[in-house]
Structure 1
Amino acid sequence: MDKKKRFTKVELGLGILALLLLTAIAYKVFESLNERNNLAKATLNCRQIITAMRIYSSDCSGTYPDARGTVSKTANHAFRKLFEEQILDNEMIFGCPLSPFAPDGVIADSHIEPNSSKFYKAVQAGENHWAMTAELEDSSSGSFPLLYENPVSATWPPKWNADMSENPVRGRAWKSGIIVGLNDSSVSLEPLASAHGAAVGLRPDPETGKALFEAAFDEAEAASDDPFKVEVLGVE
């Protein structure tokens, strides 16, 4: 009788252990699927914004909405022009999963003062996740980063907070990297140089020793007769 009881307790212990293991595996699978779903949404948003910018450039002599002569202190200001030109009518694509910046869906005000922009409510402060490189044109190098997730600060080359991966704070990264859209309209998840750090750049290419942003700058500078300048338009 005692042996039977002891055997039953062992079986119970093994059963609990197996249940815990299955729960842990299921959680990891769910976490992985959830991350992939979030990354897919973010990548789609990035592609849609770049498409809208390309449509804008086709109507504006190849320039993007931040072009010189316009007031574009931040990416928010530049993106608002996409609504003013009636290229976009939905600001939700400027959001991103696990971001502190969330569009509210309101882009226009029917009760506006004369000479005011009807779309001043589009991508207001706190409603845009995406930063961009200023003063590029659609004829600029296709390998130049055009659109990317908001960095820690609007400095070149941009850096992100790896310590706060997948936490809704400014400059946060994904566990696997940062979503970057290039001027050729391609979008990819680029790995960071380190999984730890409050200001981390992208991982350098093992062959050139240069990360994506630095390599693009060097290429553009070498091809330019004048001193090449670059600026990050951050978010507000």
Structure 2
Amino acid sequence: MTTTLITGANKGLGHETARRLIAAGHTVYIGSRDAERGRQAAERLGARMVRLDVTDDASVAAAAKAIEADGGLDVLVNNAGVEARAEGNVVIGAAEVTADIMREVFETNVFGVVRVTHAFLPLLRRSAAPVVVNVSSGLASLTRVTAAGTPTYAYPGVAYPASKTAVNMITVQFAKAFPQMRINAVEPGYTATDLNGNTGIQTVEQGAEIIVRMAQVGPAGPTGGYFDAEGTLPW
């Protein structure tokens, strides 16, 4: 039996990923900073719930202890994320972004990934087939963001793409450090979720496809890569 933890899984892409992995036979922990919403999601899906706020050391440590006591972990999906938007669902651009805004986004999207991964490393290293999936973004690709005339080039935000580029580097460095694990970054695509005020052009079912696929990668599968549903992405 494969045991999987998904952060930020009480809604959106995390929720759909949990549903699909449960259908595939995984035992799934819904990681949610709101215990009641997490409990409701777990009941809907037939999952387990663990309270987990990726920005809080004590919360993450307690979650790791609880999952260890239940038997351990095989797959970690670092899905929890935030984007910097102002009133009216307007993306905060270069003229308005501040260090405080950057810090808030990085606290969840970057430091949260490191905090959670570090806490669960001892459990993952005991697994026969450990997997980590870091939910990144196409906006993390310097190649894409500098390709004039594309939607990625047109995106005005600073904090979110910078945070996801950092996630890609974290993915590469962790993959090199732990070659026995499969550690990859994925781009779900522009999916309609609360993160972007439901402005995305994909459904969560479409967006979750690559997350689910890489969560099930075997020991001979890729590691240290950056993928969307169509294949490998340029850094």
TM-score by length of 1: 0.30
Q: Please state which structure has a larger fraction of its residues in helix.
A: 2
Q: Please state which structure has a larger fraction of its residues in strand.
A: 2
TM-score by length of 2: 0.30
